[in-house]
């Protein structure tokens, strides 16, 4: 997250009120249009009063050929936008398209129904809505990300969701990437502008927000290191990474605590080496499962699980020694090239 006092406080308090901008949604979802036709879409972490996911799918309903759009709202603070009820209550919305054919999403075309609980995606009534969906698209709470993905996998749902880059190393997430159950979308290591309930007080953050055409005084905040996860196929994950360098023992040191070589940059992956390599985790943004095999993560619990032993610091991190100096490279994943 950005170095911003409001963001830090939000993280500590496990508050996740960040709202994705529609241009960021469109930049990713335009690559998956073929998957949406005839499908029921669920946005189950979205307040439809301000959710651009709801706006995107409602406005693109006919263009995408959707069957139905369902959006759940967690304890709406302004329920009378959709109903005459004056109390705070969680609701869910159903939109089945432009019934009156006027080319506009009218309020009378949106069916608003109350939820008994607070709209938490883990509640049984929200799970029943999940069962109706073909594809889930949203920005889930980062504090509940592990639970959120586990639920999607449990119910065998297709999805397209936002996350932080750090999630690549979660012990609950990387095995799913390794087993080809989920993968990275088009957007990887992005800096995105979010609408938040928190004040933006960091000047560098405010400058970035202004450069993107938003007003930081209106609680717009830059959030760096963001990616999309999906299990919808897309063309980018089948693009072959062009390799041009040749292996040299002098240029690619071997690790002291694991049988593999270190590759400092993705562009330096040797074209003629078929053993295990430690490469920067940014490779996952270009990872082609037909070209490479994922072996594991080069640190922590996941590192121990594949046999990485403790290094000179007494930690389970990959390390190598050059001219008597030991070094731990930053954030490695272990891969092996597949023979063509």
pLDDT above 50 (res 250): yes
Lowest model confidence (mean pLDDT) among 8-17, 204-213, 230-239, 253-262: 8-17
pLDDT above 90 (res 334): yes
- Res 87: pLDDT: 42
Could you tell me how far CA 294 lies from the centroid of its own chain? 19
- Res 4: pLDDT: 46
- Res 48: pLDDT: 67
pLDDT tens per residue, range 109-162:
999 999 999 889 999 999 999 999 999 999 998 889 999 999 999 999 999 999
| Greater pLDDT, 6 or 137 | 137
Q: Kindly report the average pLDDT of the chain as a whole number.
A: 89
Q: What are phi and psi of 58, to 5 degrees?
A: -65, -45
Could you tell me how far CA 275 lies from the centroid of its own chain? 30
Please name which of 308, 305, 273 lies closest in space to residue 178, comparing C-alpha atoms. Answer: 305
Per-residue pLDDT band for 172 (boundaries 50, 70, 90) equals very high
- Res 289: pLDDT: 96
pLDDT tens per residue, range 207-228:
999 999 999 999 899 999 999 9
Strands 68-76 and 40-43, by their bridges, are parallel
* CA dist list (Å): 4 to 8, 35, 106, 212: 6, 37, 39, 18
CB 50, CB 96: distance < 8 Å: no
pLDDT above 90 (res 298): yes
- Res 314: pLDDT: 94
| Greater pLDDT, 4 or 111 | 111
């Amino acid at each position: 997250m950005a170095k911003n006092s409001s963001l830090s406080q939000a993280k500590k308090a496990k508050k996740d009120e960040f709202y994705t901008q529609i241009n960021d949604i469109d930049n990713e979802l335009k690559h998956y249009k073929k998957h949406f036709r005839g499908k029921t879409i669920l946005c189950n972490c979205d307040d439809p009063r301000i959710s651009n996911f709801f706006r995107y799918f409602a406005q693109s309903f006919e263009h995408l050929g959707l069957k139905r759009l369902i959006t759940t709202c967690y304890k709406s603070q302004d329920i009378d936008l959709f109903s005459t009820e004056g109390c705070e209550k969680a609701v869910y919305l159903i939109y089945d398209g432009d019934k009156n054919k006027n080319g506009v999403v009218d309020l009378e075309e949106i069916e608003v129904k109350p939820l008994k609980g607070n709209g938490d995606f883990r509640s049984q009534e929200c799970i029943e809505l999940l069962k109706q969906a073909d594809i889930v698209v949203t920005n889930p709470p980062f504090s509940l990300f592990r639970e959120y993905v586990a639920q999607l996998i449990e119910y065998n749902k297709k999805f397209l969701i936002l996350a932080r880059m750090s999630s690549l190393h979660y012990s609950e997430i990387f095995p799913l990437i390794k087993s080809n159950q989920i993968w990275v979308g088009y957007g990887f290591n992005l800096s995105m502008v979010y609408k938040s309930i928190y004040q933006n007080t960091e000047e560098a953050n405010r400058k970035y927000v202004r450069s993107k055409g938003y007003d930081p005084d209106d609680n717009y905040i830059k959030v760096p290191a963001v990616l999309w996860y999906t299990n919808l196929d897309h063309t980018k994950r089948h693009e072959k990474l062009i390799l041009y360098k040749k292996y040299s023992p002098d240029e690619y040191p071997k690790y002291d605590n694991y049988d593999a070589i270190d590759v400092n940059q993705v562009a330096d992956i040797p074209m003629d080496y078929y053993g295990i390599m430690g490469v920067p985790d940014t490779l996952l943004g270009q990872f082609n499962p037909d070209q490479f095999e994922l072996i594991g993560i080069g640190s922590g619990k996941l590192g121990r699980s594949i046999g990485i032993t403790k290094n000179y610091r007494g930690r389970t991190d990959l390390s190598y020694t050059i001219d008597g100096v030991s070094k731990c490279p930053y954030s490695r994943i272990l891969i092996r090239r597949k023979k063509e």
